[in-house]
Chains A and B, each alone.
Chain A
């Protein structure tokens, strides 16, 4: 169904050859208008996502992290076209899908699937597991080889459930098993891209590991591409190839996993990583932790220029007046939006500002 286009954008976030890119996003914007408009009537909006660029290569796991409310779920819902973008473009396999009608989107729904955080509310309690997992076949009018029941039972087996679970109801399953049911449904139409919004955070620690392993096995077996959203930075490091850090509706840093965790450039990334509690009793005393002051500003009225300047210990006048662009630093695949990045080799010409706070 996809129309191959030669017109692929050479955006900075894509150092890989063009054909490798499955999903690309440019200048993505989503503003939620606020009803009633108590400040400037009619004109106010939550700037949930405000100019986001990234691209995801075939077969990789691309994760998005950042504070609560920074726009991760909104980005996920824009990319899967559950929300209508206010601006920007979303390309899937070269095809511009930004404003495709629901009808033209339908065939693509097979290729792009989403996994939700809550394994309880996303399954209809009155439907059997068989009906739930088989729903995509019905909705898309697909008749798999060997029949729907066989296909559903194969899927259940694929995610580590028993084919005998076919006639059972969701409440008979544990959280981890319900998440598996959701994943089985997601896989029914053999998607190519799975967008998973906090797929394990509602699960117990011992169960999280089961689902993480399952997602990794499926990726290998089926060649899936993942966009993963998670707030647990240890889980993100475990599963990701590349990681993007969002702050107040914008991406402030993108890099290969190890680059980001070993050499974070953006002060917010540095602070965030330094805050992760480490399960090592010996490290307690000698850890440097950056204490960020204050709270995340409101996305209704975000700070001008660099949105992090209200909490950044390196902020200078220029940070309040000029927005730092997301540009490569120290290599083509590590992008950061900051006037005074961290962890740069002394050779890099960056002025050493005096702290303001």
Chain B
């Protein structure tokens, strides 16, 4: 999770191998099931895409071709990776549409994307993404454009399908409620970097980064009595062309004066282990110059009471 422009989509597109070498330089390491993807041959990554990993986007229309029927697009996607007859692929597509909750899939399969409502298009795209039973599904803001009732259907669907297919899901969103409902582990991004990560419990109940505190204070809590005032983060997110030196959050941070010297403006804090609980797969970590003990104290004594 993270604000607009923090690098969520760019990161996930890197995993999917969707950046071209002309538009982006990618360094570091991405391993899928042990296989290194950075520097791997385009063809190899393309084969993995759809087969082992798939992605769904905020706007289904951008992922679907307007001139082909929904069914044909799922059939195509399936036949690229599976040597089956057209008839078998069609049966599979009907089955997939049925499983994502499209009513009367047998007749709906021949509809064009624009003949579906927003929620149905999102379902159809999920059906397409899951048609090859990928082990990794990346969902980039899958419900941002949808109404709450439809959003709830799609979130339930993703959760059910995850259990059924036993796949790993990366969900990208700025909605903390959606995160809390779906995620086991969370990475909070700011200005192109992960600045805090940990189990969902750690991030919501014992966060240690001042930006994470700010996010939690900015949104009204649906599950608690209304507060008098929201607690916004001052200032605005930085431009990634001129990222502030040192800690990118320093121009907006209320706590930088508690760090000795000028480390906040001169030295970029590394993502280091943080004190409280660990996630199932990632440990709790935060990138901030404040000592862990002090962060925990600030959270417990100053931040947490203000949010209640």
Q: Which residues of A come within 8 Å of B, CB atoms?
A: 67-68, 174-177, 204-210, 212-213, 216, 231, 233-235, 237-238, 257, 271-272, 274-281, 283-284, 289, 291-292, 294-296
Contact = CB atoms under 8 A, between A and B. Distances in A.
Contact of A209 (B155, B205, B223, B230): B230
B156 A291 contact: yes
A42 B156 CA distance: 42
A263 to B, nearest CB: 15
A46 to B, nearest CB: 15
B246 interface: no
A234 B229 contact: no
A234 B225 CA distance: 11
Given A204-B174, A283-B223, A231 B148 contact: yes
B204 A272 contact: no
Interface residues of B, number: 49
A279 B176 contact: yes
Interface string B135-153: 0000000000011111111
A276 B236 contact: no
A237 B226 CA distance: 7
Contact of B179 (A274, A279, A296): A279
B236 A176 contact: yes
Contacts of B103: 294
A207 B232 CA distance: 7
17 contacts: A68-B146, A204-B237, A205-B215, A206-B214, A233-B148, A275-B152, A276-B177, A277-B155, A277-B181, A278-B223, A279-B179, A279-B223, A280-B204, A281-B204, A284-B181, A294-B103, A295-B119
Interface string B88-110: 00000000000000010000000
A296 B150 CA distance: 10
Given A235-B220, A272-B149, A275-B151, 9 more contacts: A175-B236, A207-B232, A209-B230, A209-B233, A213-B229, A274-B152, A275-B152, A277-B175, A284-B181
B174 A289 contact: no
A175 to B, nearest CB: 8
Given A205-B215, A237-B226, A278 B181 contact: yes
B231 interface: yes
B278 to A, nearest CB: 15
B152 A209 contact: no
